Amino acid sequence: MNIPRSQQPLMADSSTLTLGTYKLRKDNSRVSVLTKYEIIGYIASGTYGRVYKAKSRDPKKHDKLYAIKKFKGDSRDGEITHYSGISQSACREMALCRELNNENITELIETILEKKCIYMVSVFAEHDLLQIIHYHSQNGMRQIPETSIKSMIWQILNGVSFLHQNWVIHRDLKPANIMVTSDGVVKIGDLGLARRFNNPLQTLFAGDKVVVTIWYRSPELLLGGRHYTPAIDLWSVGCILGELLALRPMFKGEEAKMDNKKNVPFQKNQMMKIIEIMGSPTVSKWPSLNKYPDYRAFQELRVHQANLQSWFQSTCGNFNKKIYPLLSDLLEYDPAKRLTAYNGLIHPYFLDGVKVCDNVFEGSKFKYPARKIAHDANYLNQAANKRQYDSSGGLHIKKKQRY
């Protein structure tokens, strides 16, 4: 019996089946996060999502520790309610970390996509500079050994130099983003705000109007600069050095919040904190000063004389005086004259006296406590025994304490 062609059932051709078959085969081959890693505990959370401490289930790698960052999705009670794609910050961080390979940059092991959730697996670092600073400040203001500070700053400059030579600005350097492994190796982390700066299609300001945490933000950014350079990272390094010496932030100002997403207010209070120590900048020393959008608002601030040397003598008097020129060169107002990361590596301070150590903790008598983590025994037992995970595809540990 011949059936008219118009009445014959539609048959999928090979090209229709190929995509579906490939996707099914790919999905079946995926290994879940909890199959590959055993979650030890919950470390911290932020605007990006959550970070967990884990170790590999591979017997050959069982002694290695990892940090797993789960990027936040649009969820409610752990269940995905709306999928809006991958955030710009997550895309940048994943793309850059895949390409960057340096001993002082956080090492990305792998990226896992599971049930509309993204996980970045990195090498775990037991400490960070903020934790180390707090440890010293809360124990009778005991100064961090100068050999440790020398190693920390040199390794930070080495990592920043690598970033800049590869056309990347970090744009959020601060103690909390500088990790230190148990072996004393510094790792610059959190590249969510990092940007490539060679041949940009538009100004860096157009993409992100506010960058760098306020206490570590450079004067050119505070004055509303639209076209800035990698020098903003070196100002942040200077602020970190000052904080390591004083055990408290150098310029602890209050941030004026944006009233809308278009207008960035002049950060008067933060600029005043800088001027009180560094003195008021002048056009003669910083020729482009009067070209910045907020220069007129800046002129209304009270004039101060330079006070950095007095601040250093009163705060860091026990340290080698040769560290002062390094601090001063990093905190140069004019970004064109500010010390570069590459030149910082051969600064006279690092070439004189005690040799720079590869291990931050070498020769130190201090034993820093391990990073605090939150545990949820019931969840961990389920994860280990049943390989179960929530509907968001995720590592979900109840938040017990905020750090």
Q: Supply the residues annotated as catalytic.
A: 172
DSSP H or E run through 25: helix 14-29
The closest alpha carbon to 215, from 160, 178, 267, belongs to 267
Closest CA to 42 of 402, 391, 378: 402
Burial class, 393, CB count within 10 angstroms (exposed 0-12 / middle 13-18 / buried 19+)? buried
Cα–Cα distances in angstroms (integers) from residue 352 to residues 194, 323, 327, 356, in the given order: 33, 10, 15, 9
Per-residue exposure over 352-387, b if at least 16 CB sit within 10 Å of its own CB, e if not: eeeebbebbbeebeeebeebebbebeebbeebeeee
Rg for the chain (alpha carbons), in Å?
25
How far apart CA 99 and CA 47 sit, in angstroms, is: 24
Q: Distance of alpha carbon 366 from its chain centroid, rounded?
A: 25
Extended strands (E) in 19-140:
37-45, 49-56, 65-71, 74-76, 79-82, 108-114, 117-123, 127-128
Alpha-helical (H) ranges within 166-218 are 204-207
Return the number of other C-beta atoms located less than 10 Å from residue 36's C-beta.
18
Rounded distance between C-alpha atoms, residue 244 and residue 246, angstroms:
6
Using CA atoms, how far residue 197 sits from 171, 191, 293, 344, 377, in Å, is 11, 14, 21, 21, 46
Q: Cα dihedral angle (379, 381, 386, 387), rounded to 10 degrees?
A: 60
Q: Is 127 helix (H, G, I), strand (E, B) or coil?
A: strand
Query: What is the residue whose two structure tokens read 């440890």?
Result: 135
